[in-house]
Amino acid sequence: MQIRFSPSMRSITISSTNGLLDLMKLKAAARHISYRTLFHTILILAFLLPFVFILTAVVTLEGVNKCSSLDCLGRRLGPRFLGRGGDYSMRLVRDLYKILDQVNSEEVPVGFKVPESFNELLSDIRNNQYDVKTFALKLKAMMENMDREVKRSRLAEQLHKHFAATAIPKGIYCLSLRLTDEYSSNAHARKQLPPPEMLPLLSDNSYHHFILATDNILAASVVVTSAVRSALKPEKIIFHVITDKKTYPGMHSWFALNPISPAIIEVKGVHQFDWLTRENVPVLEAMENHHGVRIHYHGNHLTGTNDGDNPRVFASKLQARSPKYISLLNHLRIYLPELFPNLNKVVFLDDDIVIQRDLSPLWDIDLHGKVNGAVETCKGEDGWVMSKRFRTYFNFSHPLIANNLDPNECAWAYGMNIFDLSAWRKTSIRETYHFWVKENLKSNLTLWKLGTLPPALIAFKGHVHPINPSWHMLGLGYQEKTNVNSVQKAAVIHYNGQCKPWLEIGYKHLQPFWTKYVNYSNDFIKNCHIIEPR
C-alpha cells in the first residue's frame, strides 16, 4: 500500500503495493492556505511538542505553583519569548541576599522586640504581616541575642570549671587528713623511706631516677604505680617524691603503708632541703608580696571579660590564675641541679600524668649536649593541643618581648622532661629564669600571665632537644575530643588542663586510663568515699 501526494497538494492517491492499480484517488477541496505550509507546520509542531512536554513535566515536578500569568506560562513552557526572564527562584534568592546584606549593615533598634523562639517568630510574622526587611531585621536580632546567650553560658561554664579545678575535692582532702593522723599515731606510717640500707642508692646513677613534686597524695600514687607496672625492670626505679610541709606526713604515711615493690620510694618535704632558702629563691618572696599577684589570684576573675570573649581564650586566662603558679612546688624543677647534686640525669614528672610504657629508654636518648629533652608542641594532628608557639604564651606587643623572642619559635611541653643535670650545672638557666620572672613582676604581669612554662621557655632557650611525640601526649584535661587510639599508644599521657581525672569535671571516656591505677579497695580510700567513676 502506498500513499502519494500530488505536487500541488490538491489530490492524494492510494495504490496497491506493486504500483499497478490505483485503489483510491481523493481530491482536495479548494483552500486558502497552502497545504505545503500546513504540512511544514505540522512537522515543526511534531518536533517541538516532545520538548514542551518534557519541560512542562520537569517544572511541574519542581513544584511551580499554578498561575495564569504570562510569566508563569513562560516558566512552564520555557521559551524566553513567552516571558521567562530567568529562573524565578534564583531571582527570589538574590533579592533575599540583597535585603539580608542591607540589614547586616544596620543596627537593631533599641527596644526592638526580639522573638525568643522560631515558633514565636513565625507567629509574629503571620499576625503582623511583616515585609521582608522587617523579617530579616527580626531574624538578625534573634540570632545576635542567641549568640550572646551562648557565649555567656560558655564563659560561665569555664568559670565554674576553674573553681572546680582549683578546689580540693572532699575525698582527697579527707585522705590527706586521715593519713596525717595515721602518721602521728602509727609507727609503721613513720618508718624511714627508703630503709637505711638503701639510702646509698638514692645517689646511684646506674638507677633510673624519677622526680615528682606534688601535694596530691592520690595523684602521686597513680604516677608511681603506673610507672612501676609499666616498667620492664621496676627494681631499677627510684622515685623522689617532694611535697610541701603540711602534706608531708600524709604523703609519707601513704607510701610507708603502701609500698610499691620493688621500686624504691623517697618522700621529702621542701622544708627538708637545706638549699631551699629565701636567699636562694628570692623570686618567690617577690611573687608572694607583689600587689598585682594578689589581685590576680584573689580579685574578681570576671574583671575585663565580656560577652565577646572567646571561651577558649577565657579558659586559658583562668587556668593561668591557678594558685599553684605561686607555689614553690611548681617552681621546684628549676632548682633540680642544686636539690640533687649527686645525680647526672633525671626524668621530671607532673602529678597529672599516667605512664603506660617502659620509660627506661629515655635514659639512653642522646641529648647532644642539651639540658632538656622534651616534646615539641607546635606540630601534630590535634590542631588545638599541638599548635603552641611562643606567640601563644607571650605578649609580643611589649617591646621587651618583641625585641628578645621570636613569635614563631616552637614551644615544648613541661610534664615529662629528661634533664641532664650535669650539662645544666654548666649553664645560667636558673639565673635567666629569675631575671625574667622579676621583669614580669616589674611590668605588672604584662609580659605573660603567671605560669612556670613562659619563663622556662626563655630560660631553656637553646638548651632543648626535641624527643619523639609518642613519649608524651598532652591535652587530656582540656581536649574532650582526644583520639582514644592515640591515647592507648602513648608512653605518657598528660591530663594538663582543668578537667583532671580525679575531678567530677574530668572527661568520662578518658578517666579509665587514670582510674585503673587507683586501689579503690584500700581502706583509707574507701573510708574517704573516693568512688570509682562509672
Q: Going residue by residue through the chain (534 aa), what tens digit of pLDDT does each one get?
A: 555 556 555 555 555 555 444 544 545 445 555 666 766 677 676 666 665 656 565 555 555 444 544 455 455 445 444 444 456 677 777 777 777 777 777 777 776 777 777 787 777 777 777 777 777 777 777 777 777 777 777 666 666 666 666 678 999 999 999 999 999 999 999 999 999 999 999 999 999 999 999 999 999 999 999 999 999 999 999 999 999 999 999 999 999 999 999 999 999 999 999 998 877 887 766 666 655 555 555 555 455 555 556 655 665 555 555 555 667 888 899 999 999 999 999 999 999 999 999 999 999 999 999 999 999 999 888 888 999 999 999 999 999 999 999 999 999 999 999 999 999 999 999 999 999 988 988 888 899 976 789 999 999 999 999 999 999 999 999 999 999 999 999 999 999 988 999 999 999 999 999 999 999 999 999 999 999 887
Rounded CA separation 525/171 (Å): 8
Report which secondary-structure segment, H or E, holds 139. helix 132-166
Q: Which residues contact 314 (CB under 8 A, 6 or more apart)?
A: 154, 155, 158, 305
The three grid cell numbers given for residue 124, joined into one nine-digit string: 509574629
pLDDT (0 to 100) of residue 398: 96
pLDDT (0 to 100) of residue 167: 72
The three grid cell numbers given for residue 129, joined into one nine-digit string: 504581616
Are 267 and 248 a contacting pair, CB within 8 Å?
A: yes
pLDDT (0 to 100) of residue 4: 59
Q: What is the DSSP string of 75-119?
A: HHH--GGGT--S-HHHHHHHHHHHHHHHHHTSPPPTT----SSHH
The CATH-assigned architecture of domain 170-528 is Alpha-Beta Complex (3.90)
Are 236 and 371 a contacting pair, CB within 8 Å?
A: no
Q: Give the start-end residues of each E strand in 19-96.
A: 22-27
CA atoms within 13 A on the CB side of 202: 18
Peptide bond into 194 cis (omega under 30): yes
Return the bridge partners of 218, or none.
Answer: none
Q: Is the pTM of this model over 0.95?
A: no
pLDDT (0 to 100) of residue 402: 97
